[in-house]
Amino acid sequence: MIMNKKLIVMAGLMIGLTASYANADLIDGLRNYWNFDDNLVDQAHGMEGSASTVQDDGEFRLDPILEPGIDFGTGKFGGDIEQNGSAEGFQSDGYVEIFRSDDTLFGTNSVLTTSMWVRADGFDTGWQTIVSHGEGSQYRFARAGSESGLSYAGGHTDISGLPDVTLGTWHHLLGITDAANGTRLYFDGVLAGENTADAAVLNDDQNTLGLWIGANPDTGFNNREWLGGIDDVAQWERALSDAEVLQIYNGGVNGQSLAEVLVATPGVAGDANGDGNFDFGDIEAFFLALTDAAAYAAAYPDVAISLLDMNADGNTDFGDIDAFFVALTAG
């Protein structure tokens, strides 16, 4: 009886905390965020609750002779950066450089999540790069060699073998480096590959390079510049959960940038059907969320799945069932 009372109190407290800011936890650990809405400003530095310590604004790097190979364009959300790849054989005519800082280095704990939306308009060189801090024991997102899929190396060997990208279509790409669990790569909200054989280690002393978006700083004159659009690039100093990855992806599918997903939205913990109440009418939707997250997101696009993380462990899964029913019957 005492234990049940404790669970009821804990569940009630959680409902109260979650009601005001359904997506508040997602900003936890956010270090960098560039939305490319006609600017290269690090938006995370001005966000309350972020982990940003440095204003990591970017700069366009252009060849002094060649026509610029990069510019702002129409992105997945608002603006983006548009690149022309190796047009006419040139691969050094435009990319974004973020100067090396404490917020672009993740070797202290070797835990990093990087999220982005990317559109490929074609491939005209191998290992065409989206985001990179270098080779070896650093992190890099790129075309997988000469394939039509993408890859991630983050203190580990490349994860590749992803589905081919659809040219001209925006895709969500998210990679995680976790010293305790290796590396993982998500494609359009789904775990597409992982490498858990050995610990992943990011070595900040391996090079003195900055962070480049749309090119690779560690490949000499051949920068392997991207061909297409890049939008909404963000980095966290922690590993996002599967539920959080899906939350970002589903938000994007519904036209929401990360900034919009992060905005505090009213919600009630356990309100799985989104009617504003937590009651027995939520049971069916709750179990749909546990058994088929994609179907749940399609059926209830306006409900943050994080509201169903009833045991507050960062995931919405079968581990939430007990807390769900304790809170339900307590009401």
DSSP string, 167-209: TTSEEEEEEEEETTTEEEEEETTEEEEEE-SS-----TTS---
Rg (CA), the chain: 21
The single-letter code of the amino acid at 247 is: Q
Q: Are 112 and 30 in contact (CB under 8 A)?
A: no
Q: Which of 38, 41, 42, 97 is nearest to 71 (CA)?
A: 38
DSSP state for residue 159 in the 8-state scheme? B
Q: What is the pLDDT of residues 34-84, one digit of tens each?
A: 999 999 999 999 898 999 999 999 999 887 777 788 999 999 999 999 999
CA distance 316 to 327: 15
Q: What is the pLDDT of residue 267?
A: 64
Residues 6+ apart with CB under 8 A from 16: none
CA distance 153 to 167: 22
Q: What is the pLDDT of residue 149?
A: 94
Q: What is the pLDDT of residue 1?
A: 33
Q: Which of 156, 144, 125, 127 is nearest to 216 (CA)?
A: 127
Region of residue 168 (phi > 0: left; psi between -120 and 50: alpha; otherwise: beta): left
Q: Are 238 and 110 in contact (CB under 8 A)?
A: no
Q: What is the β-pairing status of strands 139-143 and 170-178?
A: unpaired
In 3-state terms the chain splits into helix, strand, coil percentages (rounded to 5) of 25, 25, 50
283's enclosing H/E stretch is helix 283-291
Q: What is the pLDDT of residue 10?
A: 33
Q: What is the pLDDT of residue 157?
A: 87
CB-side neighbour CA atoms (13 Å) of 305: 29
Q: Are 227 and 85 in contact (CB under 8 A)?
A: yes
The string of DSSP codes covering 57-87 is -EEEE--SSSPP-EEEEE-SSSEEEEEETTG
Burial classification of residue 205, based on how many CB atoms lie within 10 Å of its CB (0-12 exposed, 13-18 middle, 19 or more buried): exposed
Domains in the chain: boundaries: 2-22+265-330, 26-248
CA distances (Å), 45 to each of 30, 222, 296, 305, 317, in order?
9, 32, 33, 26, 32
Per-residue confidence of the chain (331 residues) as pLDDT tens digits? 333 333 332 333 333 333 333 455 899 999 999 999 999 999 999 898 999 999 999 999 887 777 788 999 999 999 999 999 876 666 778 999 999 999 999 998 899 999 999 999 999 889 999 999 999 889 999 999 999 999 999 988 899 888 899 999 999 999 999 998 999 999 999 999 999 877 788 999 988 999 999 999 998 767 899 999 999 999 999 999 988 998 899 889 888 899 988 874 546 788 999 888 889 999 999 999 999 988 998 898 878 787 888 887 768 899 999 989 988 888 5
Top CATH class of 26-248 equals: mainly beta
Q: What is the pLDDT of residues 114-151, one digit of tens each?
A: 999 999 999 988 999 999 999 988 999 999 999 999 99
Angle at 120 between CA 96 and CA 69, to 5 degrees: 40
Residues 6+ apart with CB under 8 A from 115: 172, 173, 174, 232, 233, 234, 235, 240, 245, 248, 258
